[in-house]
Structure 1
Amino acid sequence: MTLHLPGADGTLRAHEPRTEPLAATRGAPGGAFTSRTVFSAAHVVADPYADTTPDGPAAVDWDATLAFRRHLWSHGLGVAEAMDTAQRGMGLDWAGAAELIRRSAAEAKATGGLIACGVGTDQITVGTDRSTGGTDRSTGGTLAEVRAAYEEQLAVVEESGAQAILMASRALAATARGPEDYLEVYGHLLRQAAEPVILHWLGPMFDPALEGYWGSPDLDAATDTFLEVIAAHPDKVDGVKVSLLDARREIDLRRRLPQGVRCYTGDDFHYPELIAGDEQGFSHALLGIFDPLGPLAAEAVRVLDTGDTEGFRALLDPTVPLSRHLFQAPTRFYKTGVVLLAWLAGHQDHFAMVGGLQSARSLPHLARAYELADGLGLFPDPKLAEERMRTLLNLYGVHQ
């Protein structure tokens, strides 16, 4: 039955929902990939019955949250846990993240799933200091406090048995005086890490508080500092996760990495070409877009495992418009579209998010996300997705 979807211009357009999912999204679960290491950053499912406030602790539906991780593992994808996709710093505080890490790591151990978990400093509240002649200045504590916060979280991840991802820190960005402070803090952490970690460079489009990370707003200078950190401890760096939405810069960085250090693309705009690679190398993947694309992404990587780059691109290239839509500015609110698609796909029973973030995108944005995902055949049960989208439209007063 036709759905009438609202556009950004205020008009309605007719959409004929699919009746069958794409064959590639119905593929049988499979084992590990052979040509690439692939992580999907995973969202959390809110508890819709909890009496919470937007600035209060997150209430998580643990059963549904862990079931979604089992879904990703069943298709061979690794789970990147407690990252920005899980609303770290946007609804999920450190106490909630620590619980998420412990539960997901235990589940991974029980099911044999690959998992890596985010290590940050979100115990520290980044504030604003107005004592400097009327000029606002972000404050994140002292470097010692930043190190201690990182160490606490690193211990939780290592004790859980998961691989650590050293996330970019708002507190460090606010506290560091220059590149030397990044070299000192990261060097300290890498020396004490029990196993090789993934270093995460998240650009300011994902979090404006990370502007000037690595000690400079000049990305060339920041890249040099980033590479200096890695060069000093190559045995402690499994790989780097780059989320700058700049394919050329990622390729240039990839070619400068020490032998044995992987590049995990976090570029949700250019991932097919970066994973496919070129004659000088390729990127592995740690992507938020692989949360809604899970089965299709897994099928594409299995095609790539056979050496069929064209077949891989034929499956993944058509997904880029959906990803670009979900991650459009302000990019940090991409989680809202991700959770919408999880609800429409039947992975959870509601469209509620921790911190009330379901309100962060407009109805026209959500309608377009549905339209693009339906066109790709991402929904295992297109009829269910249609019914749920119809319910959402009616709730907003767009009666069908």
Structure 2
Amino acid sequence: MTELTLIDGAGGTRTAPLLEPIAAARPAQPLRSRVAYAAAHVVPHAWADNTPGRPAEIDWDATLAFRRHVYSWGLGVADAMDTAQRNMGLDAAATRELIARSAQVAREEGGSVVVGVNTDHVEDETITLPQVIDAYLEQLHFTEEQGAGPVLMASRHLARAASSRADYLRVYAAVLQAATTPVVLHWLGTAFDPQLAGYFGSNDWHTASDVLIRVIEENPGKVAGVKMSLLDADAEIAVRERLPEGVRMFTGDDFNYVRLIADSGDETTSRSHSDALLGAFAAITPVASAAIQALDAGDAAAYGDVLGPTEALSRQVFAAPTFYYKTGVAFLSWLGGHQPAFQMVGGLHSARSLPHLSEIVRLANESGALERPDLAAERWHALLTLNGVRP
């Protein structure tokens, strides 16, 4: 039996048996019980100047092939979001091209795509509220022209410019009223981006959620859903219960998604589950698909058996500092053969330690999430050798 060599924080090594992936088959029909998007990453050319601050040089063949892979498993793609290194290396020109190309692939594959709309193309760190609105509208109009669904991301510019909850209501109303199709609102917590502290006017999620709900209620028909990424399951459930009819909760909780996507079975609540828009689902696409297929078949036990073990893997990928989770997503993509090299825009492949990556390997192996175990072992051992560790 092939074995994996693992390394700990003290440089010690041990071996573990290489396990088979879960038995998963691509769905024969569209997934029904949940709407699920995998937030996809970008792959740069390995030979590009992938150093901090340099323009992104995207390997479009590998990047778009990964999106086709996601569609083949029945999931939708959430693109040009934080997983794709927005505000962490993906420049404005690359963002626009990614949105256009990704929308085209979605049309070709018959898949569903939503993309991030932000203000990050504006280079000035501080701008006025009217300028924030204009920046949002520029990206919104471009996204709609491409035929992609908009995800209105939390804006660093707005976080800096807003001095009250009323400022958030003003900006979101202006942008939503200009939208020609319902959008998804993205509430991104400080674990993912510390510069978003106090978003929606408060550091207390109870108070901030009041503003979020007001935004939705004051702009009827303009909001299709909310992606909530606070890594707090109880907070998500509380907000989910308050959403107006027809507005979905898309969990962005990469720590607690198994519970949140499952049917709670609580007849006293009006909303028993969340849908999904997760970076974790880009790392475990076949497993995520198999789990939702189990829900489609009415087999909640199989859902838990399949998806449950992946949560420990996701918690490792998204461990603090959480905003470096993109490294784990790209690492698993490389292990799965979806990109030729473990390289990232802005040199972000160096953001995690070898022991951290080793733990990802261990947990992916144990949860059946290594798509091609033999290739994963070969590549992981080559990385160990490169770093002076003899497998």
Aligned to 2:226: 240
- Bigger shift: residues 224-233 or 303-312: 303-312
Q: Distance in 2 between matches of 1:289 and 1:164?
A: 20
Amino acid at match of 2:347: G
2:308 is equivalent to residue 322 of structure 1: no
8 Å contact 1:238–1:261 — kept in the other structure? Answer: yes
Matching residue within 155, 159, 176 for 1:190? 176
Q: 1:104 to 1:36 in 2, by over 3 A?
A: same
**Structure 2 counterpart of 1:166:** 152
Q: Which moved more, 1:218-227 or 1:158-167?
A: 218-227
AA aligned opposite 1:23: A
Q: Secondary structure at the match of 1:298?
A: helix
Q: Which residue of 2 aligns with 1:253?
A: 239
Q: Shift of the alpha carbon at 1:3?
A: 3.5
Contact 2:227/2:277 (8 A) holds in 1: yes
Question: 1:126: how far off?
Answer: 5.8
Of 33, 36, 39, the residue aligned with 1:41 is 39
Q: Distance in 1 between matches of 2:186 and 2:124?
A: 19
Deviations 1:308-363 (A, max 9, x none): 22221111111110000111100000010110100001111110000000000000
In structure 2, the residue corresponding to 1:291 is in which secondary structure? helix
Contact 2:26 2:74 survives alignment (8 Å): no
Does the CA-based 8 Å contact 1:126-1:170 persist in structure 2?
A: no
Mapped pair 1:146 → 2:102: no
Look up the SS of the partner of 2:282 in the other structure. Answer: coil
1:347 match: 338
Paired letter, 1:110: E
Three-state SS of the structure 1 residue aligned to 2:281 is coil
In structure 1, which of residues 204, 207, 212 is the aligned counterpart of residue 193 of structure 2?
207
Whole-Å Cα distance in 2 between the matches of residues 255 and 144 of structure 1?
33
Deviation at 1:52, TM superposition (A): 4.5
- Which residue in the other structure is 2:302 paired with? 311
CA contact (8 A) 1:125 1:171 kept: no
2-side partners of 1:386 and 1:126: how far apart? 45
The one-letter code matched in structure 1 to 2:249 is C
- CA apart distance, 1:22: 1.9
Amino acid at match of 2:315: R
Task: Report the TM-score, using the length of structure 1 for normalisation.
Answer: 0.94
Q: Which amino acid aligns with 1:274?
A: L
- Deviation of the 1:66 alpha carbon: 0.4
Please state how far the C-alpha of 1:4 moved relative to its aligned partner.
Answer: 2.9
Which structure 1 segments of 5+ residues have no match?
Answer: 128-139
Structure 2 counterpart of 1:89, which letter? N
Compute the displacement of 1:282 (Å): 1.0
* Distance across 1 between alignment mates of 2:167 and 2:255: 31
1:365 equivalent in structure 2: 356
SS at match of 2:32: coil
> How many angstroms does 1:187 deviate by?
0.4
Asked if 1:21 corresponds to 2:7, the answer is no
Percentage of pairs with the same residue? 52
Contact 1:234 1:258 in 2 (8 A): no
Aligned-residue RMSD, C-alpha: 1.2
Residue 285 of structure 2 is aligned to residue 287 of structure 1? no
Shift of 1:29: 4.4
Question: Over residues 101-144 of structure 1, what are the superposed CA-to-partner deviations in whole Å (9 max), with x where a residue is unaligned?
Answer: 000001101110100010001012364xxxxxxxxxxxx21111
Count how many residue pairs are aligned between Structure 1 and Structure 2: 385
**Distance in 2, Cα, partners of 1:123 & 1:380:** 36
Q: State whether structure 2 residue 327 is matched by structure 1 residue 336.
A: yes
| Equivalent in 74, 77, 82 of residue 76 of structure 1 | 74
Question: Structure 2: how far apart are the matches of 1:186 and 1:277?
Answer: 31
Structure 2 residues not aligned, in runs of 5+: none
